[in-house]
Amino acid sequence: MARNTITYACQQCGASFSKWAGKCDDCGAWNTLAEERKEAPAGPGKRVIGRRISLEPLHCLTKKSDLPSRMQSGITEFDRVSGGGLVPGSATLIGGDPGIGKSTLLLQLTCKLAGAGLKAAYISGEESADQVRMRAQRLGLANATVELGTATNASDIAASMDGPDKPDIMVIDSIQTMFLPSLDSAPGTVSQVRASAQELIRSAKNNRVALLIVGHVTKDGAIAGPRVLEHMVDAVLYFEGDRSHHFRILRSVKNRFGATDEIGVFEMIEAGLAEVPNPSELFLADRREDVTGAVVFAGIEGSRPVLVEIEALVAPSSLATPRRNVVGWDTSRLAMLTAVLEARCGVPLSGRDIFLNVAGGLKIHETAADLAVAAALISSVTGRPGPQRTVFFGEVALSAELRQVAQADARLKEAAKLGFENAVLPCPRKAAKKVTGIKTAQPKTLGELIEIMGGIS
Ligand X SMILES: Nc1ncnc2c1ncn2[C@@H]1O[C@H](COP(=O)(O)OP(=O)(O)O)[C@@H](O)[C@H]1O
CB of 237 to Mg ion, least distance (A): 15
Binder of Zn ion out of 24, 121, 314, 362 (CB under 5 A): 24
What phi, psi does 451 have (nearest 5°)? -65, -45
DSSP symbol at 381: H
Q: Left, alpha or beta for 125 (phi > 0: left; psi -120 to 50: alpha)?
A: alpha
CB nearer Zn ion, residue 12 or residue 191: 12
**108 near Mg ion (CB under 5 A):** no
Binder of Zn ion out of 2, 6, 21, 27 (CB under 5 A): 27
- The site map against Zn ion for 2-21 (x = CB under 5 A) is --------x-xx-x------
Residue ranges of the alpha helices (H) in 86-228?
A: 102-115, 129-138, 154-159, 190-207
The partner in contact with residue 10, picked from ligand X, Zn ion, Mg ion, none with C-beta cut-offs of 5 to 8 angstroms by kind, is Zn ion
CB nearer ligand X, residue 236 or residue 312: 236
Show Cβ contacts of residue 394 under 8 Å, excluding neighbours closer than 6 positions.
Answer: 368, 370, 371, 402, 403, 404, 405, 424, 425, 426
Q: What is the per-residue burial (b if ≥16 Cβ within 10 Å, else e) of 369-400?
A: bbbbbbbbbbbbbbebbbbeebbbbbbbbeeb
Binding stretches for ligand X (CB under 6 A):
96, 98-104, 138, 268, 270
CB of 159 to Mg ion, least distance (A): 24
CB nearer ligand X, residue 125 or residue 299: 125
CB of 14 to Zn ion, least distance (A): 7
**103 near Mg ion (CB under 5 A):** yes
CB of 9 to Zn ion, least distance (A): 9
**282 near Zn ion (CB under 5 A):** no
**110 near Mg ion (CB under 5 A):** no
342: three-class secondary structure by DSSP: helix
Residue 33 near residue 10 (C-beta atoms within 8 A): yes
The partner in contact with residue 96, picked from Mg ion, Zn ion, ligand X, none with C-beta cut-offs of 5 to 8 angstroms by kind, is ligand X
State how far the Cα of 201 lies from the Cα of 212, in Å rounded to an integer: 10
Provide the binding-site residues for Zn ion, judged by CB under 5 A.
10, 12-13, 15, 24, 26-27
